[in-house]
Structure 1
Amino acid sequence: MKGIQRALLCAALFLAGCASQPDIIDRGSYRVDTRHQAPSAFPRITSLIIHYTAGDFDSSLATLTGPDVSAHYLIPARPPGYRGKPVIWQLVPEEKLAWHAGVSYWRGYTHLNSTSVGIELENSGWRQVPAGLGMVKRFEPFEARQIAVLTTLAREIIDRYHIAPQNVLAHADIAPQRKDDPGPLFPWQQLARQGIGAWPDEARVQFWLRGRDPQAPVDPQQLLVLLARYGYQVTPGMTPEQQQRVITAFQMHFRPARYDGVADAQTQAIAEALLEKYGQ
């Protein structure tokens, strides 16, 4: 009898402690002790991926709510107002996986659908237009109202999941062989000033440029080594065209004034400055 009484007393003391212990959570028919957290655990969401839809809003919404692809958010080019505030569309809860990244790679991780939040921006993307003797891609600019609401949403997501600046990415960064979005007209530098994403310090770019002509050619292999260290997928046996697409993706993000995929001194200096600032 004394043993039973002692056990009941211990249980009562334990439950009394539970009542005042915020780390022991009551879930109705049972309680969960969360005081002993395993160190070998990582957050599911570690990156934010920005896309454009390459279509109008109605067709984009239909595609993103169809059976093949999805994204967490869709932001119209001109968000409508409701009671004085812009409206955006959440298509997938953030805690669920959305199929927006596809075959992807960043900093050693593949299948970024599992570790990211995806935001789609209504934007027609690019079209081919005549230029000289050939054709070039002409990208569509983004609307100021669209970027304004994106800025607020992106900052909230970054704060919610403690996403590092170097993990706020273009779709082209994680899939340069397949994708161009959100393209060279997306205002990465503007967003970086708002605490969204990475951007090199100009003084450090000039330091790494070391007085060279910014357009002076550099060894593409040396540049690709830097881009691989920063996070891009660079693999043995890539064709010159595949290598050029990796360089182009980097330039569209960090040197959008010229994104021809040519390895030059300025691109190399930007890569050095980013590695110095954000690690590798």
Structure 2
Amino acid sequence: MTGETLSYAGKRVVVTGCYSGIGQATARLLLDLGARVHGLDLRPNDLPLDGFTPLDLRDVASIEAAAEAVEGRVDALFNCAGIPPGPPPLDVMKVNFIGTRHLTELLVPRMGSGGAIANVASNGGAGWSRNVPRLLDLIGTDSFDTAAAWFGANGDDVPAAYSFSKEAIIVWTLSLSSTLIKQGIRVNCTSPGAVQTPMLDEIERVTPSELIDVMAQPIGRRSDAAEQAVPLVFLNSDAASYGNGVVLPVDGGFLAAQAIAQRGAPASPGRR
């Protein structure tokens, strides 16, 4: 791999959630790599973006206006926007999955062969494999409104909207990767663990800090947003040209340790 394959010089990219956290860190890194960045969020940041459009992923009109405001081709899309547990469950679903999907579907026609999409999921969605039939029902809906109606009818059977929304992002990524690759467009996602961002501050208002810190093991610390931006930028770069349908844990080894523990193997290295 050379420096050129990670370069974004001349590429036109879209970053949702650019105001703060992982989205802002991703936009900053892309600017450093030469990208022309169009940011989408409720509020602008102070980065020298190529363009910015307000976006409310809970609202169809806002999503469609934002997509229309993005000019020209799109070489890469970074879906970083998200909200934590706490708001109404339907709002959580709209921002974290339903609205994100709708925006993506509007921007895909602007992408050509060599394009790439990177979504931000979460370790909170790690249980997706236990819910595949129900998740496929949701993903099989054909519009923003029908997806919202599906959740309205089935939300009482969903134990936690935040986790379910992140499970949906993962299963949608896997499904979309097998269809868009026929157009030469790759689709991947990251699965962050505990990331010290304003969103985590909101999560700590409803979740005890000691539970969050469990997810910071075995590395023993929370990550910062920049540590999450680098894998996202890599996945959408030419350096990852054969990477498609990847769900990449960026969690300091939490899921790996859990997988070993569930199988009764020792979590520490060494032989017996």
TM > 0.5 between the two?
no
Higher RCO structure (Cα 8 Å, ≥6 apart): 2
Q: Output the TM-score relative to the length of structure 2.
A: 0.31
